[in-house]
Amino acid sequence: MSSTEVEILLVEDNPADADLALHALRRDHLANTIHVARDGEEALDFLFCRGPHSQRSPDRQPRLVLLDLKLPKVDGMEVLREIKNNPRTKVIPVVILTSSREEKDVVNGYQLGVNAYIQKPVDFEQFRESIRQLGMFWLVVNEPPPPNAFQAK
């Protein structure tokens, strides 16, 4: 697994949501390698190559992190804070994908440096459309940060 490039890190504790997101992403062939982290701690271990992911190279980071906010152990905001506080990871585009429409979450997210905030539409059709669009944008349209951007300065 460490040899293949992970295109998307999906941080989602709910397996149903994870399934639906994966279904949508794969249906449009937007991403082949998607790693699902089931809680905040696992997401951080993955990104900082700790614990079970200590074999992973910190130079090969995912092109996009899809982050849910309500997570066991370490919540989404904390994960976001750690990512954006660390010079090695702060360039990774992070998109919050959450069911929360709370204004304070939106504000907090942007203040911590999130790259986009998407509220999961209740309607599955709209949800699928959102996923499709954000996959299209971040994986196809957007120019990713070059590898040396991940090195600490």
Residue listed under structure tokens 């982050």:
67
**According to CB under 8 A, which one of 1, 16, 141, 152 is a site residue for another protein?**
16
**According to CB under 8 A, which one of 60, 70, 90, 132 is a site residue for another protein?**
70
User: Is 108 among the residues that bind another protein (CB under 8 A)?
Assistant: no
Phi first, then psi: give them for residue 64, nearest 5 degrees.
-155, 140
User: Is 141 among the residues that bind another protein (CB under 8 A)?
Assistant: no
Q: Are 61 and 33 in contact (CB under 8 A)?
A: no
**According to CB under 8 A, which one of 26, 124, 147, 151 is a site residue for another protein?**
124
Q: Interface residues with another protein (CB under 8 A)?
A: 14, 16-17, 20, 23, 69-70, 98-102, 120-125, 127-128
